[in-house]
C-alpha cells in the first residue's frame, strides 16, 4: 500500500514562526471540538429533565436524545466529503452555527418537531471530527501528527466534563430549554475563532492545500476499511466501560453508584492521557510506522478486558483504581492513534471523506454497544459477562490490526 507516501512531508527544520502558527491552528481546533462536544455529550444528560417537564415516557425521552446521534451517523461521511471539497474551516464554522441554531429552535417546538430538529442538529454537528481532523493534519508534519491529533481528541471528553458540570445545574435552576441555549451558545462561540484562522504549510508559508476533489471513495481503500473495523471493535470497549463499569462495581463490590462512578472518572482521566500518549509514542517510532503501536494498543485493550473479567470484586480499592486506570488508558485512549492512522492512510486529498466514513460506522457501533452487551449480561445473569464478551471482541481486533499494510514515513 502506497497511500502513506501520498502524505506530503514538510521539511525537517520548519521555521519557528510556522510552527507557532500550526500550534495556533491546533488551539482553535481544540476549542471548536470542545464546543461541539458540550452539546453532543450534554444533551443525553438532560433526558430526565426532558421526560419530567414534557410528561412523556422514558422511551420517547430517550428517542429525543438519541435523535441527535442518529443525525450524526448520517452526516459524518457527507461532512468529510464537504471538508475535502470546500475546506474544513467553512464546514466547521457552518456546521457549528447550524447546530446551535437548530438546537435552540428545537426547544421552541412540539415533541415531534423536537425529534426532527435534533436529528438535523446531529447531521450538522457531524462536521466536527472529519473537518477538525483534516484541519490539524494539514498543519503539522508527519512526526507530530500522532501527538497533535491525540491532543485534539482530548477535547471530546473535556467537553463532556464541562457539560456534566454546567448543564444539569442550569436545567435544575431554569429548565432544560435554557440548558439547550447554554450548550448551543458554547458551540457557536467556540467555532467563531476558526473564521479567522488560516492553515499554512510548515515549510513555505503558503496555504497547505486548496480545497479540491476528494478522489476515490474510502470504501475502496483497504487500510481505511481495516482501520474502520478496528475502530468499531475498540469503541465497544469504550462504551461498555461507560455503560456497565459502575453498575458492575455497584452489584459486585457493594459500592454505591456514586462511589463506583468515581472510579469511572479515573478511567476517563487516563483515557484523556492515553489519547495523547499513544499518538505521541507513535511519532517517536515513525520510521518504523505506527502499526506496531496499533498492535500494542490492541493487546493492552484485551488485557484490560481480561483484568476486568477476572478481578475479584472484593479486591481492595487501590486494585480497583488500577483496573479502572488500565481500562481507560486503552479503551478510551485509543482514538488519538486511530484517527491519525485513518487520516494518513487516506492521504491529504481524502482525509475528510475517509475520517467521515470511519466515524459513521464507529458511531453506529457505539450506539449498538449498550443494548448488545446489556443483552449478554441479561442472558448470563451477571454484568461481569460483559467483560468476557468484550474480550472476544478485542481479540478479534487483532485481525484488522495485523492486516493493515503500512509504509513507514520518514520523520
| Cα radius of gyration (the chain) | 21
- Whether the predicted pLDDT of 112 surpasses 90: no
Among 36-40, 181-185, 211-215, name the most confident range.
181-185
Rounded CA separation 303/382 (Å): 20
- Whether the predicted pLDDT of 395 surpasses 90: yes
Q: How confident is the model at residue 368 (pLDDT cuts 50, 70, 90)?
A: confident
- Whether the predicted pLDDT of 398 surpasses 90: yes
Residue 150 is predicted with a pLDDT of 82
Which whole number is the average pLDDT over 210-238? 78
pLDDT, greater one: 76 or 338: 338
- Whether the predicted pLDDT of 215 surpasses 60: no
pLDDT, greater one: 112 or 9: 112
Q: What is the pLDDT of residues 43-53, one digit of tens each?
A: 776 777 777 78
Residue 130 is predicted with a pLDDT of 74
pLDDT, greater one: 322 or 44: 322
The DSSP 8-state label assigned to residue 231 in this structure reads H
Indicate the fold that domain 7-196 takes in CATH: Growth Hormone; Chain: A; (1.20.1250)
pLDDT, greater one: 58 or 305: 305
Residue 6 is predicted with a pLDDT of 38
- Whether the predicted pLDDT of 216 surpasses 60: no
Residue 19 is predicted with a pLDDT of 44
Q: What is the pLDDT of residues 127-151, one digit of tens each?
A: 777 777 777 777 787 778 788 888 8
Which whole number is the average pLDDT over 31-43? 85
Q: Which residues contact 60 (CB under 8 A, 6 or more apart)?
A: 51, 111
Residue 122 is predicted with a pLDDT of 87
Q: CATH 1.20.1250.20 spans which residues of the chain?
A: 7-196, 218-403
The architecture of the domain spanning 218-403 is Up-down Bundle (1.20)
Rounded CA separation 386/377 (Å): 6
Phi, psi angles (nearest 5°) of residue 221: -95, 115
Residue 17 is predicted with a pLDDT of 41
Residue 88 is predicted with a pLDDT of 75
Helix (H, G, I), strand (E, B) or coil at 357: helix
Residue 225: other Cβ atoms inside 10 A: 20
- Whether the predicted pLDDT of 302 surpasses 80: yes
- Whether the predicted pLDDT of 220 surpasses 90: no
Q: What is the pLDDT of residues 378-389, one digit of tens each?
A: 899 888 999 999
Phi, psi angles (nearest 5°) of residue 285: -110, 25
- Whether the predicted pLDDT of 226 surpasses 70: yes
Residue 367 is predicted with a pLDDT of 80
Q: What angle do CA 253, 255, 260 make, to 5 degrees?
A: 105
Residue with cell 495556533: 24
Cβ proximity of 142 and 344 under 8 Å? yes
Q: What angle do CA 70, 73, 75 make, to 5 degrees?
A: 110
Helix (H, G, I), strand (E, B) or coil at 134: helix
Among 27-31, 266-270, 326-330, 407-411, name the most confident range.
326-330
Burial 311-348 (b: 16+ CB within 10 A, else e): beeeeeeeebeebbbbbbbbbbbbbbbbbbbbbbbbbb
> What is the sign of the dihedral through the CA atoms of 114, 116, 120 and 125?
positive
Query: Which of 63-77, 239-253, 316-330 shows the lowest mean pLDDT across its residues?
Result: 63-77
Rounded CA separation 106/108 (Å): 5
Residue 125 is predicted with a pLDDT of 85
Residue 206 is predicted with a pLDDT of 37
Q: What is the pLDDT of residues 282-291, one digit of tens each?
A: 888 877 888 9
Which whole number is the average pLDDT over 216-242? 86
pLDDT, greater one: 314 or 1: 314
Q: Which of 229, 199, 374, 375 is nearest to 298 (CA)?
A: 229
Please state, for a pLDDT cut of 70, what percent of the chain lies above it. Answer: 87
Residue 336 is predicted with a pLDDT of 84
Q: Which of 365, 352, 297 is nearest to 78 (CA)?
A: 352
Residue 235 is predicted with a pLDDT of 92
One DSSP character per residue, 245-257 reads: HHHHHHHHS---H
Q: What is the pLDDT of residues 247-287, one digit of tens each?
A: 888 888 888 877 777 888 888 888 888 988 988 888 888 77
**Chain mean pLDDT for the chain:** 80
pLDDT, greater one: 352 or 202: 352
Amino acid at each position: 500500500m502506497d497511500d502513506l507516501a501520498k502524505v506530503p512531508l514538510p521539511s525537517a527544520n520548519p521555521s519557528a514562526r510556522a510552527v507557532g502558527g500550526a500550534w495556533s491552528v491546533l488551539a482553535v481546533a481544540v476549542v471548536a471540538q470542545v464546543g461541539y462536544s458540550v452539546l453532543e455529550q450534554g444533551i443525553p444528560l438532560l433526558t430526565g429533565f426532558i421526560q419530567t417537564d414534557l410528561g412523556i415516557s422514558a422511551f420517547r425521552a430517550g428517542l429525543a436524545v438519541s435523535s441527535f446521534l442518529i443525525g450524526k451517523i448520517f452526516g459524518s461521511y457527507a461532512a468529510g466529503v464537504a471538508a475535502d471539497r470546500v475546506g474544513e474551516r467553512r464546514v466547521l464554522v457552518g456546521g457549528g452555527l447550524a447546530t446551535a441554531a437548530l438546537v435552540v429552535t428545537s426547544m421552541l417546538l412540539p415533541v415531534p418537531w423536537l425529534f426532527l430538529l435534533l436529528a438535523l442538529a446531529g447531521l450538522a454537528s457531524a462536521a466536527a471530527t472529519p473537518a477538525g481532523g483534516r484541519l490539524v493534519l494539514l498543519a503539522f508534519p508527519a512526526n507530530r501528527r500522532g501527538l497533535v491529533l491525540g491532543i485534539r481528541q482530548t477535547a471530546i471528553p473535556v467537553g463532556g466534563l464541562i457539560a456534566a458540570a454546567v448543564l444539569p445545574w442550569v436545567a435544575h435552576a431554569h429548565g432544560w430549554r435554557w440548558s439547550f441555549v447554554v450548550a448551543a451558545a458554547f458551540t457557536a462561540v467556540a467555532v467563531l475563532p476558526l473564521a479567522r484562522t488560516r492553515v499554512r504549510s510548515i515549510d513555505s508559508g503558503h496555504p497547505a492545500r486548496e480545497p479540491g476533489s476528494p478522489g476515490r471513495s474510502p470504501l475502496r481503500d483497504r487500510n481505511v476499511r481495516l482501520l474502520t473495523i478496528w475502530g468499531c471493535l475498540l469503541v465497544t470497549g469504550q462504551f461498555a466501560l461507560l455503560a456497565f463499569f459502575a453498575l458492575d462495581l455497584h452489584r459486585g463490590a457493594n459500592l454505591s453508584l456514586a462511589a463506583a462512578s468515581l472510579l469511572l472518572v479515573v478511567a476517563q482521566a487516563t483515557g484523556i492521557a492515553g489519547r495523547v500518549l499513544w499518538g505521541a509514542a507513535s511519532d517517536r517510532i515513525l520510521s518504523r510506522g505506527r502499526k506496531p503501536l496499533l498492535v500494542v494498543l490492541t493487546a493492552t485493550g484485551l488485557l484490560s478486558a481480561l483484568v476486568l473479567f477476572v478481578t475479584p470484586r472484593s479486591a481492595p480499592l487501590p486494585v480497583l483504581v488500577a483496573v479502572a486506570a488500565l481500562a481507560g488508558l486503552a479503551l478510551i485512549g485509543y482514538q488519538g492513534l486511530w484517527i491519525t492512522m485513518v487520516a494518513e492512510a487516506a492521504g491529504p486529498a481524502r482525509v475528510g471523506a475517509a475520517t467521515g466514513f470511519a466515524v459513521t460506522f464507529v458511531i453506529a457501533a457505539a450506539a449498538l454497544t449498550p443494548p448488545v452487551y446489556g443483552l449478554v449480561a441479561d442472558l448470563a445473569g451477571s454484568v461481569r459477562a460483559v467483560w468476557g464478551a468484550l474480550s472476544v471482541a478485542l481479540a478479534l481486533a487483532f485481525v484488522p490490526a495485523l492486516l493493515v499494510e503500512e509504509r513507514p514515513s520518514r520523520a
